[in-house]
Structure 1
């Protein structure tokens, strides 16, 4: 990538802005206390970014953003009230606290309401290397996007383009509560992507590729992204459907993480205390093969979702979610934990970095191991029932014979039940897609129903 030094060396006032946000949070906590709140918490955030989109060699949009948010939550005993503002004027801040208090005074008691336990607050704040801002100006962002799209359109089989984009963002946040906890975080995120169209008329196919990272140095070159987008798009030309039947299904790494996402939804506190999950009372039970493991690593340096504390200030720590195929715990904040009679797992606000352990090699070795079956590279629709675990989604990808890709397929549906799919996982590849905080390779499910043309 271009190494224009003006993009990496610039004035960084983020620490000063963090201290300003911390000062605001302390003033708001004092105001809440003065108005009679027994507990209070404040979240302050400031986000800056730029997003550039080009199409067919022309600039379509250049958008610069600068957003700020202040959220106040107060507790009067076990009555809760919340209010928010983006206005930093003192009168507006005072009105926000007053509004939160007024709401709390008119709500019902909730026995699970309140801050997380004071003893659980984080005390150590290591540098997790999540701050890599990119001082990218609009001109150079446009040049990168144009280069990305041009590299993809250089393939003669590419007939059209849905465009290329370059985005950069940086976020500052402070969380503070009346336990005396105050946590400051800063993070960055950058991406380059391209979507292309191949073929003509009813035979047109669309696909793309993107690179995403917290540091610009970790992004793929824009030209490489464009070429990869073109390769993926033309590979989909002249697809076929498949007869209905049961076959092995290999989820490519970029879609395999959706399977882990369904697990996370099912074992999250909100779904569990509402009795709206197919994995009720599943902690301590065997859900996967005995070699399968998922670890949460919130303190991973340079991780996409690393943090020393969760959304309630609770200290995070590395821990197993699944070990030996057994679900070790749920995903809980303090509210859902109290509703379930359990303790928070430091997941208020969601999970941090998850690593799914591999037991196989790269994609080609996974294809060889599968032999004959379906490689899924795209999923469509939302046909997943979180209560029953029934799974039915539109899909596209490639038919595989004798360990080799034979032809592209689309217009099919893959179906099963998530509980059976989890138990039927035969392999996880080492071809990890690192563009998400859920880090997994391709996942082979031994048998699923594929519905196409009979």
Structure 2
């Protein structure tokens, strides 16, 4: 076996051995290899084809409570030795971190099986010609819609990746992933009145992808819906966040319950455990064990087991998102949410999320809102992490008497997250195959700055 053909398991063990010889008290290593191909089509012809493949490795060493991380894409034996020596030298110069350290044996995942998670599609890798035909079909369907002058991009891609993690505490494990995608961006109108919008899909299994023709057509329909926008009236109005953008609201809540933010004191939910943060009846569930979902995994980046848990249950905040270090700092148990790449140490990250869906359709909520705004896209963000004060630019559709009336853009939405998340009403239109299953959300009484 040559340096270039060693398995990821062998590479991580070699890194740990090199770290121990260099003087590390403890260490963990990650190795990732994979390949990806992306095809872009314009005017029915191939515009760009990109393929990448390679192996990346990362090493984290501990010298007492001092830590350093190094990474490389060179897997030769001499490089591993050099990496370990440099990492140990860096760690000796680093400040002490009282919360640093590997998991204890009793914290590590004991039995795991990635098979039921279906993270890797056994179907053959698509050929470049197949991907080009995907992109061409999406572009052709988009251009067939009346009023569409051009397609900015039509793309198709495929990727596969293997990851292996090992640590001096005895943990060693890995798994493989695949992904397949199609996307299209269409442009309607001309000159200064041009508007664009997109559609796309990304799945673990190729057979689950929505048809390329549907993606192209929907991108065009969305672009046409954005033509001739006006500015809405300034005032306090109900706002319905469309399912395509509603996950951003939940994303702000997730940022506030992230252990790194809480430990720094930079979170508007830093003292909110056990308090109501969503309307009664709504729960936010994290489940990293859902089959065929990109956010699923059998263990986290510190070798801890992943599990289904309620972040919010019946409106009450039940827990923060913690890795080992933030858990130690807050005096709490880790939640199995450590994520890392090859060039940095672990940090808390959420996996798959689902918010309780409501009994009513999106259209029913639009009728209920009377006069207000449907938000279909958002730009920029000003979020005060300490107070939850919220301000974002938006575009969408103005509603009069429960009926969509005209397109709007150039509007700013403002409020306080802690306040208005308690006034959410969910629809029942969430896409269940996404990593964040969040329906359209109606929020009463937000401030809109328009005309």
TM-score by length of 1: 0.93
The CA distance in 1 between the partners of 2:359 and 2:248, in whole Å, is 19
User: Residues 89 and 56 from structure 1, CA distance in 2 versus in 1: closer, same or farther, beyond 3 angstroms?
Assistant: same
Deviation readout 1:229-251 (Å, 9 max, x if unpaired):
11111111122111101111111
Q: Does 2:272 match 1:282? A: yes
The CA distance in 2 between the partners of 1:242 and 1:383, in whole Å, is 21
User: Residues 45 and 247 from structure 1, CA distance in 2 versus in 1: closer, same or farther, beyond 3 angstroms?
Assistant: same
TM-score by length of 2: 0.93
Aligned equivalent of 1:292, options 259, 262, 282: 282
Aligned equivalent of 1:33, options 20, 26, 47: 20
The CA distance in 1 between the partners of 2:376 and 2:43, in whole Å, is 26
Post-superposition shift, 1:224? 0.7
* Superposition pairs of residues 140-179 of structure 1, within 5 angstroms: 140-179=130-169
Paired residue for 1:362? Answer: 361
Post-superposition shift, 1:162? 0.8
User: Residues 225 and 196 from structure 1, CA distance in 2 versus in 1: closer, same or farther, beyond 3 angstroms?
Assistant: same
Q: Does 2:207 match 1:217? A: yes
Q: Does 2:62 match 1:75? A: yes
Post-superposition shift, 1:118? 2.3
* Superposition pairs of residues 238-253 of structure 1, within 5 angstroms: 238-253=228-243
Paired residue for 1:317? Answer: 307
Deviation readout 1:425-447 (Å, 9 max, x if unpaired):
1x212211356411111111112
Deviation readout 1:239-266 (Å, 9 max, x if unpaired):
2111101111111111000111111111
Paired residue for 2:343? Answer: none
Q: Does 2:208 match 1:208? A: no
Alpha-carbon contact 1:246-1:450 (below 8 Å) kept: yes
Alpha-carbon contact 1:151-1:226 (below 8 Å) kept: yes
Alpha-carbon contact 2:155-2:182 (below 8 Å) kept: yes
Aligned equivalent of 2:444, options 421, 443, 446: 446
Paired residue for 1:392? Answer: 391
The CA distance in 2 between the partners of 1:368 and 1:18, in whole Å, is 62
Paired residue for 2:49? Answer: 62
Deviation readout 1:103-159 (Å, 9 max, x if unpaired):
112222211011123211112222210101651221221111011011011112001
Aligned equivalent of 2:171, options 168, 181, 186: 181
Alpha-carbon contact 1:211-1:435 (below 8 Å) kept: no
Alpha-carbon contact 1:378-1:395 (below 8 Å) kept: yes
SS of aligned partner of 1:23: helix
Post-superposition shift, 1:293? 0.4
Aligned length: 436
* Superposition pairs of residues 333-372 of structure 1, within 5 angstroms: 333-349=323-339, 350-372=349-371
Deviation readout 1:79-124 (Å, 9 max, x if unpaired):
1121111111111111111111111122222110111232111122
Post-superposition shift, 1:411? 1.3
The CA distance in 2 between the partners of 1:93 and 1:193, in whole Å, is 40
The CA distance in 2 between the partners of 1:398 and 1:58, in whole Å, is 35
Alpha-carbon contact 2:293-2:433 (below 8 Å) kept: no
Post-superposition shift, 1:163? 1.4
Post-superposition shift, 1:303? 2.1
The CA distance in 1 between the partners of 2:219 and 2:283, in whole Å, is 32
Query: Structure 2, unaligned stretches of length 5 or more?
Result: 340-348
The CA distance in 1 between the partners of 2:29 and 2:237, in whole Å, is 52
Q: Does 2:178 match 1:191? A: no
Q: Does 2:429 match 1:431? A: yes
Paired residue for 2:342? Answer: none
The CA distance in 1 between the partners of 2:360 and 2:49, in whole Å, is 41
Paired residue for 2:127? Answer: 137
User: Residues 44 and 278 from structure 1, CA distance in 2 versus in 1: closer, same or farther, beyond 3 angstroms?
Assistant: same
The CA distance in 1 between the partners of 2:105 and 2:198, in whole Å, is 47
Aligned equivalent of 2:89, options 74, 87, 102: 102
SS of aligned partner of 1:118: coil
The CA distance in 2 between the partners of 1:18 and 1:183, in whole Å, is 19
User: Residues 365 and 124 from structure 1, CA distance in 2 versus in 1: closer, same or farther, beyond 3 angstroms?
Assistant: farther
Post-superposition shift, 1:201? 2.0
The CA distance in 2 between the partners of 1:358 and 1:232, in whole Å, is 24
4+ runs of 1 displaced by more than 6 Å?
none
SS of aligned partner of 2:106: helix
Deviation readout 1:314-348 (Å, 9 max, x if unpaired):
11111100001111000110111112222211111
Query: Structure 1, unaligned stretches of length 5 or more?
Result: 1-16
SS of aligned partner of 2:381: coil
The CA distance in 2 between the partners of 1:299 and 1:285, in whole Å, is 27
Alpha-carbon contact 2:378-2:395 (below 8 Å) kept: yes
Paired residue for 2:403? Answer: 404
Paired residue for 2:225? Answer: 235
